[in-house]
Amino acid sequence: MFRIYPGNMNDLSTVKDFIPQIKERMNNTSVLDRGYYSIEFLRLACKFKVKLIVAAKVEDKFIQDAISEVRDSLKSDNCFMTGHNCRGITVARKIQDGDEQYNVWLHVYRRNPDREINDFNQSLKNFIERWDNHDKTVDYAPEMKFFIRPEGNIGEKPLVENTAVTQPIRDNYGFFSSVSTYETNAFDAINEYPNRDCIEKSFKFVKTDLGLDVNRGHSPSTIRFRLLIGMLAITVENCIRSAMRLGSTVEQKNGKTRYIEPVAHSYSYNKLKDAFSHIELHCNADGTTSISGITSKIKDICSRMKMTNFLEKLPDYVQNSVLKKIGIFKK
C-alpha cells in the first residue's frame, strides 16, 4: 500500500489520512518511528482501534513522568531484557479524548549510559577549551546554555557549569521508550519494534537498487505505476529474504533428523543474486521453453529456501507470456 502526498510533508500531517487506511487494510501490528509520536496520534490510533507500537520521544512530559515512576525499579535484574543488553518495564496509562478514555502501554528501557555521559562530558570539556582560548564563537554556540557565563570578556574568567541544566541530561541518558495501543510487556514490545528495521531496509532497496529515490514521472499516472512496480519489487525481495532466513530439517535413512541452516548464514542477498545470474530461458522452435544454467548449487539453495517449483516447470504466466511474444501462443 502506498499514498502520494504533495510536496514535502512531515510525518504527523499524514496521520489523520492513513490511520483509517491502516485499520481498513491491516490486522497485524504496525511499527512506527518516533517521527509519528504525539498524544494526538495515540488518541487517533486508539479511536480506530489500530494495533501499533511507536517509538516515543523521551523528553516528552508523558514519557518523563513514566521514567520518574520506574527509575528505581529498572535497577532490578528482573527487568533485564535478554538479548538486548538493557532493562525494561511497562507502565499502563490512560489518555483522554473528550469524554472518551483510552488505555495505552508505555515501555521504558535503559541501557548502560556510561558512553553517552562520557561523550557529553567530553563535549563540555571541548567547549571550555574554546572559551579558554578566547574563541569568539562560543557566545553563539548552543553549548553555552550548559554554563553560567561570567562577566567580562571571553576567556578572562573560568566558565562555571550550570548543573541545574546538565545534571538532568546526564540522569536521562540511556533511557529510550515506546508506546503500544494494545496490552503487551516490555520484552515482547522490544522484540516487535526491530521489525521497523526491515521496513527501513526495504526502502533502502527501493531507493538504491530500483532508483526510486527520485521519481521522474511527468504525470500522476506515470508516478503511480512506477511506485506500484516498486512496491511489487519490494514484495518479491522481502519474500526471498524471508525464505533465506528459514532453517529446515531432513529425515535421513537412519531415521535421524538433520538440521539444515538458513541460506542467509552462507549467502548475502547480493551473493545469492550472483549465484542465479547464469540462469537462462530458451524459447525452442517447437514452441516449448526450457531453462539452462541450473547447477547443483542452485538446486541446493532452492531446496533450503523451499522454492523448488520453478526448477521443475516454468509458471504458466511466464510460459504464456513468452510464447505470445514469439507469435505462437494460442488461446
Please state the φ and ψ torsions of residue 51, each to the nearest 5 degrees.
-80, 120
Same domain, 187 and 205: no
Residue range(s) defining the domain that contains residue 264: 259-325
Same domain, 293 and 213: no
Residue 317 lies in a domain: yes
Confidence check: pLDDT of 310 > 70:
no
Total domains in the chain come to 4
Same domain, 211 and 272: no
192 CB neighbour count, 10 Å cutoff = 17
What band does 317 get if pLDDT is binned at 50, 70 and 90? low
- Which pLDDT tens digit goes with each residue over 193-251? 877 777 777 778 778 877 888 877 778 888 888 888 888 888 888 888 888 988 877 77
Choosing from 142, 172, 202, the residue where a domain stops is 172
Same domain, 68 and 120: no
Which of the pair, 5 or 74, is modelled with greater confidence?
74
DSSP string, 274-305: HHHTT-EEEE-TTS-EEEE---HHHHHHHHHT
Same domain, 77 and 182: yes
- The grid coordinates listed for 287 are 514452441
Dist. CA 209–CA 204, nearest whole Å:
8
Q: What is the pTM of this model?
A: 0.66
Single-letter amino acid, residue 84: H
Same domain, 51 and 136: no
Confidence check: pLDDT of 301 > 80:
yes
Same domain, 91 and 213: no
Pairing of strands 248-251, 80-81: unpaired
Same domain, 28 and 66: yes
- Which pLDDT tens digit goes with each residue over 135-165? 999 988 999 999 999 999 999 999 999 999 9
Backbone dihedral region for residue 109 (phi beyond 0: left; psi -120 to 50: alpha; all else: beta): beta
Residue 249 lies in a domain: no
Dist. CA 95–CA 100, nearest whole Å:
9
